[in-house]
Amino acid sequence: MDTSVNVDMPSRPAHDPATAPGRFVVRDAHREDLPEAAAVQAVCFREIGQGVIPNDILTEVTGPGIVHTTIEQWKQFMDDGAVFKILVDRLDMMTVGVAMARISTSPDAPTPWEVATLHVLPEARNCGASDDLLNACIGHRSAYVWVFADNARAIKFYERHGFHVDDTDGAVDDSLGGVELQRLIREDAIEAK
């Protein structure tokens, strides 16, 4: 389970050529995209894990071995029907973001769909690309996501997309050194009727 997110927050002026409309494009991920996408996730996870996850654990969960493991796990998720999207920078055609949603296997899932991964590299932030990536991945579906409890930026991002903080006590991820997690839920108005 991925427990964090890197998201857009408006800060660049609209005329900034680095974030000009059309620079970034969201598309379906294919198996051959998974190595780059897993590397993006590792870079972003390393960034948001600094100061939150103990250094030795952070090094372990973002190293080459875990990237390979992630690729293999994602292949299985893809085979099982998970929705994978990548964000591509049209300047160099490199993957700069990844999102994955899947039907949850958790018995206490509040909605059928889980946003399991959403990461965007710094050069693609602050321009709406994360919004596009999330929308392409889950559309208007009900879904839930786990984030680091102290990741205010992630919480605000998901709240802008109709998610709300779950009223449960959250969870602790011992595999990440005891990081506190918070679940956010979005219940689609159409599905809730």
Query: Please, which pLDDT band fits residue 6 given cuts at 50, 70 and 90?
Result: very low
- Segment 64-93, tens digit of pLDDT: 888 999 999 999 999 999 999 999 999 999
CB 182 within 8 A of CB 174: no
Residue 133 CB partners (closer than 8 Å, separation 6+)? 26, 85, 87, 97, 98, 99, 118, 120
Indicate the pTM of the whole model. 0.83
Query: Please, which pLDDT band fits residue 7 given cuts at 50, 70 and 90?
Result: very low
pLDDT at position 188 over 80: no
Q: Write the DSSP string, 81-140.
A: T-EEEEEEETTTTEEEEEEEEEE---TT-SSSEEEEEEEE-GGG-SSSHHHHHHHHHHTT
Set out the domains of the chain in order of their start, with CATH numbers. 24-186 (3.40.630.30)
